[in-house]
Chain A
Amino acid sequence: AQTVTQSQPEMSVQEAETVTLSCTYDTSESDYYLFWYKQPPSRQMILVIRQEAYKQQNATENRFSVNFQKAAKSFSLKISDSQLGDAAMYFCASTATGNQFYFGTGTSLTVIP
């Protein structure tokens, strides 16, 4: 089984500033994948970024990047130059064989103009 923990229920950031959302995970799998999904008020789940555990290089997607610390089982999301449209619930998730996703409890991000 896999577990994902997000210890920050709520975070806030000033527009144009940088914020980091934390995530830790636990898995017995040797080959697994990690994701950050965004859920705006519309409820739609949107993929933000994906990391393959066997790759040491941290994934980046435009203003979004991760800090993947495999030994520490940590997978944080950094949002640079925060925009009002980044306000949402963010979920960290892991998956392995069978592609069943295990989600954390989420972090609600508020962007302050």
Chain B
Amino acid sequence: NAGVTQTPKFRILKIGQSMTLQCTQDMNHNYMYWYRQDPGMGLKLIYYSVGAGITDKGEVPNGYNVSRSTTEDFPLRLELAAPSQTSVYFCASTQSHRGTEAFFGQGTRLTVV
């Protein structure tokens, strides 16, 4: 059972570079999310999607973009990386819009230098 798969697991970027964090899930979940986790903090929502073609901003969307062309995939794009984007990024999915367990990927540790 693959669940939610994120790639890469680790990445170092230089300031100003761009990259895409990949996320795919095989559970046919409509709801997908991107969170970031900073040291000593909980996870904060960056963007979410309620289905293919529909995305919306979360608490901390600045500096990121997303797209959702299929149910399975929900990539996160970082444009013009900044040191403030150094964090661990988690992709997650849920079966429904209310109260169901969130399944998480293993996270991507991103360092911007």
Q: B97 touches which one: A32, A42, A43, A97 (CB < 8 A)?
A: A97
A106 and B106 within 8 A (CB): no
CB neighbours (8 Å) of A47 from chain B are 101-102
Interface size (B, Cβ < 8 Å)? 27
Q: How far is the CA of A93 from the CA of B90 in the complex (A)?
A: 15
A91 sits at the interface (CB 8 A): yes
Checking A9, A33, A42, A93 against B98 with a beta-carbon cut-off of 8 angstroms, the contacting residue is A33
Query: Which residues of A, 12-53, contact B by the 8 Å Cβ criterion?
Result: 31-33, 35, 42-45, 47, 50, 52
- For residue A109, CB closer than 8 A to chain B, the reply is no
Tier of interface size on chain A: 20 to 34
Interface residue? A56 (CB, 8 A) = no
A99 with B104, Cβ < 8 A, contacts A45-B90, A105-B40, A105-B41 known: no
Question: Whole-angstrom distance from the CB of B110 to the nearest CB of chain A?
Answer: 13
Contact among A31, A32, A95, A104 for B42, CB-based, below 8 A:
A104
A residues less than 8 Å from B43 (CB atoms): 91, 101, 103
Taking CB as reference atom, which chain A residue is nearest B93?
A99
- Flag if B33 contacts A50 (CB, 8 Å): no
Q: DSSP majority for the A interface? A: loop
Contact of A101 among B33, B50, B88 (CB under 8 A): B33
CA distance A45 to B106 in the complex (A): 8
The one of B41, B45, B90 that contacts A100, using a Cβ cutoff of 8 Å? B45
Which of chain B's residues have a CB closer than 8 A to the CB of A96?
98
Footprint of B on A, CB under 8 Å? 4, 6, 9, 31-33, 35, 42-45, 47, 50, 52, 91, 93, 95-106
Enumerate chain B interface residues (CB-CB to A < 8 A): 31, 33, 35, 40-45, 48, 50, 58, 88, 90, 92, 94, 96-102, 104, 106-107, 109
The list of the 3 closest CB pairs from A to B, nearest first, reads: A103-B42, A45-B104, A33-B99
Q: Can you list 21 A-B contacts with CB-CB less than 8 angstroms, sorted by A residue number?
A: A31-B98, A32-B99, A33-B98, A33-B99, A35-B102, A43-B109, A44-B107, A45-B92, A95-B102, A96-B98, A97-B97, A98-B98, A99-B97, A99-B98, A99-B102, A101-B43, A101-B45, A102-B42, A104-B42, A105-B42, A106-B41
